[in-house]
Amino acid sequence: MVFSEHLFLLVFLPVCLAGFHLLRHIGLYRGSALWLVVFSFIFYGYWNLAYLAILIISIFVNYLLGLYLYRAKQSFMSLLAMLSGVVFNLGLIFYFKYAGFLLYDVAQVSELEWLAREILLPIGISFFTFQQVAYIVDCRAGRTYEPSLINYMLFISCFPQLIAGPVVNHKYVGSQYEALTREGQINQTIIKFGLILFVIGLAKKVLLADTIGRGVDPMFDATLQGGEVGFWQAWFMVSAYRVQLYFDFSGYSDMAIGLAALFGFRLPINFNSPYKSKSIIELWGRWHMTLSRFVRDYVYIPLGGSRHGKAVQLRNIFIGMFLIGIWHGAAWTFVWYALAMASAVCFNHMVRIFWPAFTAWNTLFARAFKQTLTLMFYFGTGALFRAENMDSANAILYGLFGFGHGQALAFPIIEPLFLIFCIIALCITLYTPNSLQITRYTEDLSKSWPNEEESAAAVKPKGYGYVEPISLHLEKYRLTYFICGLLVAICIAAGWQPAIFIYFNF
């Protein structure tokens, strides 16, 4: 079930919301949390009941392990138990996501070709296993603990973030889920903003991302057997695809935060205008932010972080970025994509170390130049990220450098209106406030949403997760809700075409 499907918008979400708030209205607060768990299981089981069984088994194993680790002393046995839990969780990812690729494509064991075909990858397995890896590590360290099975099931399976993220840390949502099981009113303002943010995300996904995707997919399909791709054709393909990916992922991120708000809690920011970045480091700091934080906290820092000199730090950065790259899929295209991204981020760090004048160069021309370099590299690597095999990737990469060779490929004609549509969409990513700014969102639970504290005298905090609020106050106008209803109706009307879901590899 995809957030933009008719079944989700017209049946699942209304019934889930109505039951949840009715149970809270009559005082069954723990029942409302259980209701949300049950509907999250229904949401996940809709894809495949076998997936649901894997999810439930994983939840119970990690819940019991967390109970033991939090209560056990810091001993060899608790360390062994934690490591066993990490191996269990990563083993699920390894088997379902990488076993077929490693045995057939890497080891060249042709007798196991069937394995690559037969293993079905459970949707979102990386998200819920990463959350549980972090949870059991934090339990042993005494940083967090969840005694309630209902709350733990909600933490892992809550459907707004289950299939496309964000990767949620229990320390962030645990207290919020506990509050749902106690008596109290849900902030109605949060619900209003949740509705607005969900509709913005839905429109991004259906009207922008899916429209571009249906235009560029046939172009990538034409390259499956290799061949000659023209220079401008190649750059249009990768640029349009990266714009599609931007609106798809940012749309899902908006919908996740919006859906969570409809039930009265907040999720962390996962996407914050990455195409406005002036370096590849900044771009990755603003793209899939919770995944980057997970790798930082549970890979980069345990490896030593920046504590043992620049060479070791660069090694740790390379390992972390390579893991982020290969996380996106099990294929040679993703291996090369991971190597390219890890190398680029390390090179960017080396420039900061050995050429500080370039980093400090901050004129208008410098910012435009750095942004252009960043986007050209990132868009160009879209050939590896989107291509279904190396023949396709190589054909596009050769075209990007004007070295196209082989038989000329017959591409679908790029309609002028579609070209203009893609250019406008790109301009939106570069020059307009993002949806979190418009809705004045803050993930800081110590501050209220909407975030009203910004003023001329306010000091902007550092970090890529900072959202500068734009004081439009859309929630005050009836026209806002009329437009929201109109956008939902348009998105439903556009649903005669199959919903596009690009996160099957995750």
pTM: 0.92
Q: Tell me what the pLDDT averaged over the chain comes to.
A: 89
- Using one digit for the tens of pLDDT, what is the confidence trace for 51-86? 899 999 999 999 999 999 988 878 889 999 999 999
Closest alpha carbon to 489 in 127, 206, 150: 206
> Any idea which residue has 């899902």 for tokens?
252
Please, are residues 275 and 246 in contact by the beta-carbon 8 Å criterion?
yes
The per-residue pLDDT for 455 is: 47
Active-site amino acid positions? 328
For the cut 90, the answer to whether the pLDDT of residue 280 exceeds it is: yes
For the segment 203-221, what is each residue's pLDDT rounded down to a tens digit?
Answer: 999 999 999 999 999 999 9
Helical segments of 390-477, H only: 390-400, 416-431, 435-438
Burial 56-87 (b: 16+ CB within 10 A, else e): bebbebbbebbbbbbeeeeeeebeebbeebbe
**pLDDT for 456 beyond 50:** no
| Percentage of residues of the chain with pLDDT beyond 70 | 93
Residue 503 CB: number of other CB atoms within 10 A? 17
CB 444 within 8 A of CB 185: no
Residue 194 near residue 259, CB atoms below 8 Å: yes
The kind and range of the H/E element at 65 are: helix 49-71
Helix (H, G, I), strand (E, B) or coil at 75: coil
Indicate the DSSP class of residue 305: T
pLDDT more than 90, % of the chain: 68
pLDDT at 270 over 70: yes
